[in-house]
Amino acid sequence: MANSQARTARRTHLFTESVIREMTRVAGEHDAINLAQGFPDFSAPELLKEAACAAIRADINQYAITWGTVNLRQALAEKYAERYGMEVNTEQEMTVTCGATEAMAAVMLSIIEPGDEVIILEPFYENYGPDAVLSDATPVFLTLEAPAYRLEKDHLEAVITNRTRAIVVNTPNNPTGRVFDREELQMIADLCLQYDILAITDEIYEHIYYEGEHHVLATFDGMRDRTIIISGLSKTFSVTGWRIGTIIAPPDLTDAIRKVHDFLTVGAPAPLQEACAVGIRELGQSYYDGLKIDYRERRDVFLSALRDSGFKFSTPEGAYYVLADFSALSSEDDTTFSKMLAKDGGVAPVPGSSFFSVPERGRSVVRFAFCKTIKTLEAAGERLREFASARHS
């Protein structure tokens, strides 16, 4: 057999397959409860599903406009105006993509020259590293320390160089659950302005937080022209399989982003874009309020089981993940522990090393996703308590 390294591009040797999706397969093999990959196991809103069926029946089944249907872009513009006080030009500043994942790749491919540095705060969502590699960027990692995961100005300033092109800011954060406060975001804004850096914000969890507020960096003084907002409907409407992501960026950047997006995917699914437009317009504030209440309950049920089982963690302020230290339960490394917990404990997490540039930093932590029904979380909690008590007896 040919040597696959010789037949494949070097850039593909620089990252591995997604560990998050690998753990979903491990969960399947052992019939474990999958708290690895962050997708809900409950239904999407009825109104949204009806709107998707109606769009398909109305024969909205061909390509949408490459950068997004008129309806969805208008609904989004209304939302940004009402909620964040931002005027967004739907013709020049908006692109709809196949999920936030494509959005991040398209953005990096559009703004980065080979060798440019991109600051990534770690622990990070696992896509950012490979996205940087695919766009020939040099990722520069800045570790935020547990338990506070707070961003300090002198630490950020220390990693800025004259090659720094952009910083990726994910709030509410996957995997830490941090929601950056106004002070931290102001500090990022100040440094972006001082050193002429672009901010790429990943705001996919913008409606899921328990403490504080979600601040949009683009609304800070001077930042509108240097911020690219990535978000989407996957998490807000519990439709991770629909692949509807969104980008808001200044017109010159949007031009480049739209071209890359066009040749990557042509466009996101047309009928599902129509359904999301209906969802954004009809569901509104009471839906977002309900989402937070439901997620808080899920979080609290799961965290109490985690605490009882001997894990140590910082309480997530937003998003739907918790990074948990398992040193009281095992001295194995994170990957061994995750597979053991899936096989013997019946609950699958993600090994912590997936969220760090240096695997050692995540050696004694795992990430659990709690975007599941209370019933699933109670069953997982029961299994964790049993696993822990068997290890202590």
Please select the residue that binds ligand GLN; options are 20, 44, 96, 112, rule is CB under 6 A: 20
Nearest-approach distance from CB 24 to ligand GLN, in angstroms: 8
Please select the residue that binds ligand GLN; options are 13, 14, 16, 21, rule is CB under 6 A: 21
Per-position x/- string for 47-86, each x denoting binding to ligand GLN as judged by CB under 6 A, each - no binding: ----------------------------------------
The residues near 297 (Cβ < 8 Å, ≥ 6 apart) are 374
Please select the residue that binds ligand GLN; options are 174, 236, 246, 376, rule is CB under 6 A: 174
The residues near 166 (Cβ < 8 Å, ≥ 6 apart) are 108, 111, 112, 116, 118, 119, 197, 198, 199, 200
Residue 377 CB neighbour total at 10 angstroms: 25
Identify which of residues 37 and 227 has a Cβ nearer to ligand GLN in the complex: 37
Nearest-approach distance from CB 354 to ligand GLN, in angstroms: 9
Identify which of residues 125 and 141 has a Cβ nearer to ligand GLN in the complex: 125
The residues near 218 (Cβ < 8 Å, ≥ 6 apart) are 86, 199, 201, 224, 227, 229, 248
Identify which of residues 80 and 125 has a Cβ nearer to ligand GLN in the complex: 125
How many whole angstroms separate alpha carbon 172 and alpha carbon 170? 6
User: What number of chain residues touch ligand GLN (CB under 6 A)?
Assistant: 8
Please select the residue that binds ligand GLN; options are 38, 177, 279, 346, rule is CB under 6 A: 38
Annotate 317-382 with DSSP letters as a single string: SBSSEEEEE-TTT--S-HHHHHHHIIIIISEE-EEGGGG-SSGGGGTTEEEEE--S-HHHHHHHHH
| Residue 103 engages ligand GLN in binding (rule: CB under 6 A) | no
Residue 14 carries which DSSP code? Answer: S
Per-position x/- string for 129-168, each x denoting binding to ligand GLN as judged by CB under 6 A, each - no binding: ----------------------------------------
How many whole angstroms separate alpha carbon 289 and alpha carbon 155? 35
Identify which of residues 26 and 191 has a Cβ nearer to ligand GLN in the complex: 26
Nearest-approach distance from CB 125 to ligand GLN, in angstroms: 6
CA separation (Å) from 305 to 120, 140, 175, 329, 368? 32, 36, 19, 14, 12
Indicate the helix (H) or strand (E) that contains 117: strand 117-122
| Residue 338 engages ligand GLN in binding (rule: CB under 6 A) | no
Identify which of residues 310 and 349 has a Cβ nearer to ligand GLN in the complex: 349
Torsion angle (degrees, nearest 10) of CA 80, 86, 90, 96: -50
Residue nearest to ligand GLN (CB): 38
| Residue 37 engages ligand GLN in binding (rule: CB under 6 A) | yes
Identify which of residues 371 and 388 has a Cβ nearer to ligand GLN in the complex: 371
Binding site for ligand GLN (CB under 6 A): 20-21, 37-38, 101, 125, 174, 369
